[in-house]
Structure 1
């Protein structure tokens, strides 16, 4: 190679080396920028997804989760389940959890999961203003709303069947033979609504009297669906006269234009609707963010206005058309931890009733 060719080759190699260096720098900058974006340095939102098992009605849960997604960039999958099925599913999945978050359902259901070792302990800083009896002190579950059990009556069907007779004001009146086939109540084995009702009766009357009462009530039940809201939905359609459900569900159906009257009788239990994080779920950090968000004012207002429940937070007002639980005859001494401890035994005894 002559001298001119040698200089030409050297120049070409320098250009190639320079190109490699420039390309390497570009790659390093892009990779660093990507990780800085993911970490939020540039205000970016990490692409994540959370799996939620919801005992809330799905439309209510989605309203909240859509807001959460817009605020955090965290997407979600949702599976709507009755509380009994949600508890069983989470326990059965303990060796390989599929969900990150359990949304709604009576706190005694969450307590059962806590005792089974299925829940993550997390005390949200936003839970500090929630009363101690409405949250687990170790943070395994946190209360979100209050809702008493009520007797819901289709006014039109009542008029057709019973004329001007007064509405029943107590649970015991529902055993009257004239109500045969005219009452809907969900199955306490699958529904937190029905379990709350019978657990409260057991606490007020004693286990034996509650079981005798349920045996007398059974002939009057048209059906025992899995989901707690179904009895009032079907009563509203005129399939039967009375639905035993949570008050909030009845008010929601009423304000959709249905002729429903609600009575909260003595001995009526209530749910502290709760939230919890599934232990060892696929995305625990995102679940903690969801818990923090749920305990702010916005989701509290979204839920109470949609479900006509009462928030556990004083900062969230009672929704228009809602009823303050303190103004009813509910069982204020209802012990949800005792209800959780008795759950297996009471459900077993109720299954034996014919």
Structure 2
């Protein structure tokens, strides 16, 4: 996927420099907080973010952060969730990013175990449930993200769409499925790994057999989400598997003919997380962004306009928007540590032995 780099410049910083504040020692000279590298103790004005967030999310949230932090110059690189992990892993000896914004808990568990994430206990730590954060404060879940069945509402009536995972294997849906390229996508890797787990985590062959039948009904694996949306809107396929937030963004904000079915047996509910990159060069600014993302007012705004389900437990449920109050979030029972440890093995097998090999 083509990498997109967005650079947010700051007139305030220029003005501050013109006034000679830095020459007068007005920069931030506080030492880094416990657990930090201290790389930006001299008052860095930069923040580099790697994100798997939808562009609509980035475009709405960053201007509000800039408004509250006008002296910080932010660079954002957007890519698939798995690609973020691989890039941070490749840069471990010389980190280029400061903040990892968005990815599955499986990816963050892996990143934490590989020493890619900084320990940082944020001010809101006590208000995030234990299952939605790392016990050593290396990552925190920003939101909950159900993975559901997506369909084109112009081409398929709701009553004719599959109501649960196993219905996707029905031969009547042959060549109706469009699937976002799996290996680069944290969402798709989680959905596919969950399908293996729900069959029998001790015997992945049962899950592989299930995915073979799904592959038989899949018309195409698209390069990225943009191509998925385009082809689904054109009715080149009528069904997909995707995350609830992005479906609602496309439906409500982009007016795409998309809708969703929440699977009857339950959905994999991702803890979509964030964390500071180990050895970040702009540590203090990364912490500011961390705290900003979890600000209660900010979370309410994101829930209203970006369809996010916040993980903070101290938000009054009465303040949630109508779409969230009426949502049934029945989870598919999964052991996320098992998924984190097996995902790479399972997805490699799928890619080498199942993908595109089951057409008749």
Assess, with a 3 A threshold, how the Cα gap between structure 1 residues 31 and 250 changes in structure 2: closer, same or farther: closer
Kept in 2, the 8 Å contact 1:146–1:273? The answer is: yes
For the pair 1:204 / 2:184, whether they are aligned, the reply is no
Kept in 1, the 8 Å contact 2:147–2:187? The answer is: yes
2:164 maps to 170
For the pair 1:69 / 2:69, whether they are aligned, the reply is no
Q: Would you say how many aligned residue pairs link Structure 1 and Structure 2?
A: 316
Equivalent positions of 1:110-259 (< 5 A) are 110-158=108-156, 166-206=160-200, 207-227=204-224, 231-232=228-229, 234-255=231-252, 256-259=254-257
Q: Structure 2: which 5+ residue stretches go unaligned?
A: 1-18, 31-42
Higher relative contact order (CA 8 A, sep 6+): 2
1:311 maps to 310
For the pair 1:264 / 2:262, whether they are aligned, the reply is yes
Kept in 2, the 8 Å contact 1:233–1:253? The answer is: no
Q: What's the CA shift string for 1:163-215, capped at 9, x where partnerless?
A: x9632111121122222221112233111111121222222211222211111
2:35 maps to none
- CA drift of 1:224 comes to 1.7
Query: In structure 2, how many angstroms separate the alpha carbons of the residues matched to 1:238 and 1:228?
Result: 15
The TM-score, its normalising length taken from structure 1, stands at 0.81
Kept in 1, the 8 Å contact 2:21–2:27? The answer is: no
2:46 maps to 49
Query: In structure 2, how many angstroms separate the alpha carbons of the residues matched to 1:89 and 1:188?
Result: 17
Q: What's the CA shift string for 1:24-59, capped at 9, x where partnerless?
A: xxxxxx989734421389xxxx56010001111123
Cα RMSD after superposing both structures: 2.6
Equivalent positions of 1:268-287 (< 5 A) are 268-287=267-286
**In structure 2, which of residues 67, 77, 87 is the aligned counterpart of residue 79 of structure 1?**
77
Kept in 2, the 8 Å contact 1:47–1:75? The answer is: no
1:335 maps to 335
- CA drift of 1:225 comes to 2.8
1:19 maps to none
Query: In structure 2, how many angstroms separate the alpha carbons of the residues matched to 1:90 and 1:33?
Result: 32
- CA drift of 1:309 comes to 2.4
1:39 maps to 28
Between structures 1 and 2, the one with greater helix share: 1
Kept in 1, the 8 Å contact 2:179–2:222? The answer is: yes
Query: In structure 2, how many angstroms separate the alpha carbons of the residues matched to 1:126 and 1:35?
Result: 34
The TM-score, its normalising length taken from structure 2, stands at 0.80
* Structure number with larger C-alpha Rg: 1
Query: In structure 1, how many angstroms separate the alpha carbons of the residues matched to 2:343 and 2:124?
Result: 30
Q: What's the CA shift string for 1:116-166, capped at 9, x where partnerless?
A: 11111111112220101000011111011011111111122126xxxx963
1:3 maps to none
Q: Secondary structure at the match of 2:75?
A: strand
- CA drift of 1:91 comes to 0.5
Query: In structure 1, how many angstroms separate the alpha carbons of the residues matched to 2:242 and 2:167?
Result: 16
Query: In structure 2, how many angstroms separate the alpha carbons of the residues matched to 1:304 and 1:230?
Result: 26
Query: In structure 2, how many angstroms separate the alpha carbons of the residues matched to 1:124 and 1:318?
Result: 23
Kept in 1, the 8 Å contact 2:54–2:246? The answer is: no
- Of residues 264-273 and 87-96 in structure 1, the stretch that sits farther from structure 2 once superposed is 264-273
Q: Secondary structure at the match of 1:128?
A: helix
2:347 maps to 347
- CA drift of 1:229 comes to 6.9
Q: Secondary structure at the match of 1:34?
A: coil
Q: Secondary structure at the match of 2:303?
A: helix
